[in-house]
Amino acid sequence: MTPTKIFSILLFLVAIGLGYFLVDSIKYRIDEKTRVARNEARVIEKLKMIRDAETAYLAVHGRYTDNWDSLISFIRQGRIPNVVKRETVIPLAYGADSVYVEYDTLGYASVRDSLFSPSKYPTFNPETLPVIPDSDGQRFELFAGTVTTPAGATVNVFEAKDVYVLNKDRLKETHPYGPLRVGSQNEASIQGNWE
């Protein structure tokens, strides 16, 4: 065998090896992005459930809770009222209208059946609500309190935040939203930062 032929065979084997490593590194990045996107979708779904539970808790108790045990107990055993709102418009003599609003409670429904019905969430378990998906048991950070608005009113606020961030880009200072969260500690909002 001539040295040129040996060199050509070695160069061919090196090219195959480099091609394999290149394809493997690209595939790893694609798989990682898919895994992160799937995880974030599951985290967002849980944050929406937490928002629904906190909103119902506020409607019944007049405040949010920052205690997971209280929230889980409320989901398991709590009841929320079924309220009907009736409005009557009364025309006034000078062309304006007066609105008379009447609320009537028709009964009560279970929180679990109303918010987390098996048709909507077939595998829902209240005990796992605080657990961040794919985090080995870490829980969402939950905050509840009050803030004073610029108009001087005191309003209840809550925030649930992902503390086990799988997408490391969300931890960078340059990321516009930061870790996934719903609600706010500083303002009256129940929006998620992904919305």
3-state secondary structure at position 163:
coil
Which residue range forms the structural domain that includes residue 16? 3-183
Query: What's the chain's length in residues?
Result: 195
Residue 75 lies in a domain: yes
Rg (CA), the chain: 27
Number of domains in the chain: 1
Single-letter residue type at 189 = S
Residue 188 reports pLDDT greater than 90: no
What pLDDT shows up at residue 84?
87
pLDDT digits (tens, 9 = 90+) for 116-142: 888 888 888 899 999 988 888 889 999
Single-letter residue type at 121 = Y
Beta-bridged to residue 161, according to DSSP, are 141, 181
Residue 193 lies in a domain: no
Contact residues for 104 (Cβ-Cβ < 8 A; gap 6+): 83, 84, 86
Residue 95 lies in a domain: yes
Residue 188 lies in a domain: no
Q: Which residue has the tokens 């009537």?
A: 104
| Distance set, CA 24 to CA 14, 150, 167 (Å) | 15, 55, 21
Residue 91 lies in a domain: yes
Residue 27 lies in a domain: yes
Instruction: Give the global pTM.
Output: 0.77
Residue 145 lies in a domain: yes
pLDDT digits (tens, 9 = 90+) for 154-185: 999 999 998 887 777 776 666 667 788 999 88
pLDDT digits (tens, 9 = 90+) for 41-81: 898 999 999 999 999 999 899 999 999 999 999 999 988 88
Residue 195 lies in a domain: no
